[in-house]
Amino acid sequence: MATAARRVASFGTTIFTEINVLAQQHNALNLGQGRPDFDTPPDIIAQLVAALQAGQYNQYAPGPGTPSLRRAVAAHAARFYGLEIDPERGVIVTAGATEGIFAAVLGLVDPGDEVIVIEPFYDSYVPNILMAGATPVYVPLHPPQWTFDPAELRAAFTPKTRALILNTPHNPCGRVFSREELACIAELCIEHDVTVIADEVYEHLIFDDARHIPIATLPGMFERTVTVSSSGKAFSATGWKIGWVYGHPDLVDGVARAHQFITFAVHHPTQEAIAYALSLPDSYYRGLKELYEHKRQLLLQALDAAGLPYRVPEGTYFVLADFSPVFNGTPLEFARYLISEIGVAGIPPETFYCPEHSHIGSKYLRFSFCKNDETLLQAGERLAKLAIRRR
């Protein structure tokens, strides 16, 4: 009987599936998956409806993406970061950032190469690296500040290192890497001639005075970085799965070669709507920041009431909360307990680490605050029971 290929045989079901199923069974408030439970702004939806009815966008889009969206991605990079991107040869539109990262790994990394991954990592990175026949090399962020040790980072570079995947703002830690941290990564990548795959899907979810700095803007980095982002987080449209990769045409060429044989082209009308969305005025992006600062506050208040310490996230819509004051066990055990006894779901971060490093995240659970205020307030009431039980 035919069985799964060796390439995928070790891949389990993602933790998100298990938590979603459990949350449903127990009718828990789901603060697990980073999936907004509110809708995409109506004007962006109206653009999609108009594109669907325009009679010209319902057949295959150009493989690299529609000219309108490629121009919008380039204009957005110029407007927010001062980057000069060639919309013709420097942008590829993909099926979400997920495909963008996969196409970047397949298109820029050879079998036998090593790829540095910062832990905790987004769950598709390692399977992508393995499917490309390369080897992941892990560098952990250390709590409670969730920073990397520059000596550990330096030690991860070898003559085989081909690429480093960098996620800032960082899921699940909520870190926005500082210029000093980025300069340290950049210096090592330049010294070892390494490509950076920069996953910046949370680029517009930054709070207070934090500033998102794309590593591509650092001296000497543009020509060795491909930047991946998507419309899911910035426009509360995770279901639309429109992402993009941009950078120096020589690197984007590698990504394009892989992309053409993965999806070839992605959903056409949606690209028109996202071209509109990316061009929204600054007031849209300010409103998004304010919306999420408020939601972050609601979740942090809930964690305070529950007696769970955390580091205040300066970006993304996630918080890693330390459950050790209220529970003795693994994150998965705590997640199951929290769902069945308290009625709130969060994500245990074990699967965001290699087995040797999973102890680093062993007292944390990830909560997301991309939820209606009502859901966050109710979650606060339920989580407060943790503090009462502790007394």
Q: Which residues bind ligand PLP (CB under 6 A)?
A: 34, 96-98, 122, 167, 171, 199, 201, 230, 232, 238, 241, 243
DSSP symbols for 251-291 = HHHHHHHHHTTTTSS--HHHHHHHHHHHT--HHHHHHHHHH
Pick between residue 197 and residue 252 the one whose CB is nearest to ligand PLP.
197
Name the nearest CA neighbour of 203 among 133, 276, 292: 292
**CB of residue 122 vs ligand PLP: minimum separation in angstroms?**
4
Pick between residue 232 and residue 313 the one whose CB is nearest to ligand PLP.
232
**CB of residue 389 vs ligand PLP: minimum separation in angstroms?**
32
SS3 of 228, please? strand
Pick between residue 175 and residue 241 the one whose CB is nearest to ligand PLP.
241
What gap in Å lies between CA 215 and CA 226, rounded to an integer? 10
Helix (H) or strand (E) holding 73: helix 67-81
Burial of 167 (C-beta count, 10 Å sphere; 0-12/13-18/19+): buried
Dihedral sign for Cα atoms in the order 17, 310, 196, 191: negative
Question: By Cβ distance, which residue is nearest to ligand PLP?
Answer: 96
Q: How many helices (H) and strands (E) does the chain have?
A: 14, 12
**CB of residue 35 vs ligand PLP: minimum separation in angstroms?**
8
Pick between residue 30 and residue 98 the one whose CB is nearest to ligand PLP.
98
Pick between residue 148 and residue 327 the one whose CB is nearest to ligand PLP.
148
**CB of residue 205 vs ligand PLP: minimum separation in angstroms?**
10
**CB of residue 127 vs ligand PLP: minimum separation in angstroms?**
13
* Inter-residue contact 68 to 50 (CB < 8 Å): no
**CB of residue 195 vs ligand PLP: minimum separation in angstroms?**
17
Position 366: which residue type?
Answer: R
Pick between residue 117 and residue 201 the one whose CB is nearest to ligand PLP.
201
